[in-house]
């Protein structure tokens, strides 16, 4: 019986982490079956894709200001200089993701310079390939940055799942449900950004699930070191750091491209989609209070 009690949190935590991870595949059922030149070529940016990206920006900002930062403040408000610590780690996140963006951009430039002659000669008669190659470097880098930020975010979710099941099965189940309610709209936003970055629907789903494995690693970490009640103080810096990463992606990568290609005919739908993304995250945050 004691042995069973020891392994029970591990079994439930692994199962819960996998269930949360599968939520990354759900956007395939929500986002329309749209691919190829119309989806990925910035010159032919479809209205559906613009709405999805606008929703993504609203969702990311809603996640930052209505979920990550309030949760970080809840953990830090009773510590001396807790507010300054949050601001510090947000700035560290912004800076770190800016540095990663520059590194990825440099890698993209090196790759493009080596492949340009091959692309021109081999793909001259392939409109689909040329369209994919024409995706802006900023859009591709945004996709990679999003995977990094999502991995960190999922790691914190895994820590929360593992730590909560150490407290009790009931607390673990409630925590898993709360994370699922928050993750579904967030995964739709992530999926849209990956599609805009040149991923196919299947590649985006695979990437989403791979980041979910990081969540499983977080859960196993919490169980392995027996964080329990110490989870909050040990991981307080991760939330504002992740918030800084999401701010970088939303404000400095996705939003500028939307503004650059904005058109009077799409303005209302863009703003409506942005508000929808923000509203969904607000509703989820309110429901979980």
Looking at the predicted structure, is the pLDDT value of residue 7 above 80?
no
pLDDT, residue 6, reads 67
Q: What is the pLDDT of residue 112?
A: 52
Query: What is the per-residue pLDDT across 80-119, written as a single tens digit (0 to 9) for each?
Result: 888 898 999 999 989 988 888 887 777 655 545 554 444 5
CB of 181 within 8 A of CB of 288? yes
Confidence class of residue 5 from pLDDT cuts 50, 70 and 90? low
pLDDT in tens, 197-235: 888 888 888 898 888 889 899 888 888 776 555 555 666
List, for residues 236-246, the tens digit of each pLDDT value.
Answer: 778 888 889 88
> How much is the CA Rg of the chain, to the nearest whole Å?
20
Which tokens belong to 245? 């990463």
| Residue 276 banded pLDDT, cuts 50, 70, 90 | very high
Span 270-276, average pLDDT: 93
Question: Could you report the per-residue pLDDT of 30-84, keeping only the tens digit for each?
Answer: 776 654 444 455 544 567 778 888 988 998 899 899 888 888 888 787 778 888 9
Residue 181 CB partners (closer than 8 Å, separation 6+): 284, 287, 288
CA atoms within 13 A on the CB side of 219: 28
One DSSP character per residue, 94-137 reads HHHHHHHHHHHHHHHHHHHHHHHHHHHHHSTT-HHHHHHHTS-H
Average pLDDT, the chain: 78
């Amino acid at each position: 019986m004691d042995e069973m009690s020891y392994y029970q949190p591990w079994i439930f935590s692994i199962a819960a982490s996998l269930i949360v991870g599968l939520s990354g595949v759900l956007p395939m059922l929500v986002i329309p079956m749209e691919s190829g030149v119309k989806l990925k070529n910035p010159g032919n940016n479809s209205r559906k894709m613009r709405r999805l990206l606008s929703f993504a920006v609203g969702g990311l900002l809603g996640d930052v200001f209505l979920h990550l930062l309030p949760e970080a403040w809840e953990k830090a408000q009773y510590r001396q200089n807790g507010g300054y610590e949050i601001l510090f780690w947000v700035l560290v996140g912004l800076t770190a993701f800016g540095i990663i963006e520059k590194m990825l951009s440099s890698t993209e430039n090196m790759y493009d310079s080596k492949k340009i002659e091959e692309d021109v000669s081999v793909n001259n008669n392939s409109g689909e390939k040329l369209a994919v190659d024409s995706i802006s470097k900023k859009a591709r880098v945004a996709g990679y940055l999003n995977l990094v930020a999502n991995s960190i975010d999922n790691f914190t979710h895994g820590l929360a799942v593992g730590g909560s099941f150490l407290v009790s099965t009931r607390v673990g189940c409630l925590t898993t449900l709360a994370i699922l309610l928050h993750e579904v709209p967030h995964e739709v936003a992530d999926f849209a950004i990956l599609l805009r970055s040149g991923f196919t629907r299947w590649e985006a789903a695979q990437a989403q699930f791979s980041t979910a494995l990081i969540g499983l690693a977080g859960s196993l970490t919490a169980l392995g070191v027996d964080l329990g009640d110490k989870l909050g103080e040990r991981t307080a810096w991760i939330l504002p750091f992740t918030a800084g990463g999401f701010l970088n992606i939303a404000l400095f990568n996705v939003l500028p491209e939307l503004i650059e290609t904005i058109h009077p005919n799409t303005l209302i739908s863009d703003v409506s989609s942005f508000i929808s993304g923000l509203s969904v995250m607000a509703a989820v945050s309110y429901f979980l209070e």
